Structure 1
């Protein structure tokens, strides 16, 4: 399902790495799986009290071929004191949201495949701006990928 949403500013804290899509396509060079593992081990997310997990993509060098920064984080106020977390602000903007439900990591793969297909079509209604994009995990079996658009 794809839907257009306007999102307000949101502060996310987490761990981050710099990478590119070429590296992420290689199992031995990809940094994102290790980033999520480190986040899961270091940050206790209080799901029962409403905290949620986000993946924030920012600082794009160019388009899908350039480097970008990924932050694996959460929206909690109670930050673990022994973990050096970075802060990113998801800016208020217009986002095209791609939603999937099922088993991880397949739903993330399916969402990003749909995104790449959508934006590779020159006739797509919306154009990607490569500013800040984010993944939102409303539950263990759901993902919403928000792509900033014009």
Structure 2
């Protein structure tokens, strides 16, 4: 299999929307240790319980989302992770804030592909300190089992 060079991120403006599903709280440090990692289990439960089928008020957006919100501080603090689908009703959902996002695309086998895409994101922001992350709402949008677009809120 030939490796392709990942595309540079691009800037995109989003209006507000809502995602509902399963939520947990974690830290990047906890996710580095299989004994304390929570995100994988949240995804497994979401698919195992077919949460996407039972979520009320779904919109026409067929993508599945992983949303990062309620940041305590920055990449080192605690944050909420919500695995879910876009919904029309804000009740019991997490809000994707309107604004500008840098979009990083990834394609390949899960979960390695999404981990590699996050590594690219962290490297990108280390190399570009002039670009400020908002740490309000970031999200992964999955169009299929091997394709993701990770949206990082920026000022």
Instruction: Verify same fold: TM over 0.5.
Output: yes
Match of residue 82, structure 2, among 59, 68, 71: 71
For residues 96 and 61 of structure 1, the distance between their equivalents in structure 2, rounded to whole angstroms, comes to 21
Gaps of 5+ in 1: 78-84
Task: Note the C-alpha offset of 1:139.
Answer: 1.6
Are 1:15 and 2:22 matched, yes or no?
yes
Gaps of 5+ in 2: 1-6, 55-59
Secondary structure of 2:93's aligned partner: strand
Task: Note the C-alpha offset of 1:28.
Answer: 0.9
Computed over aligned residues only, the root mean square deviation of the Cα atoms, in angstroms, reads 1.9
Q: How does 1:1-150 map to 2 (within 5 A)?
A: 1=7, 2-42=9-49, 43-45=51-53, 51-75=62-86, 86-121=92-127, 123-150=128-155
For residues 72 and 79 of structure 2, the distance between their equivalents in structure 1, rounded to whole angstroms, comes to 6
* TM-score, length of structure 2 as denominator length: 0.83
For residues 36 and 80 of structure 2, the distance between their equivalents in structure 1, rounded to whole angstroms, comes to 15
* TM-score, length of structure 1 as denominator length: 0.86
Deviations 1:40-88 (A, max 9, x none): 1221449xx75210000001000111000000111256xxxxxxx9411
Task: Note the C-alpha offset of 1:140.
Answer: 1.6
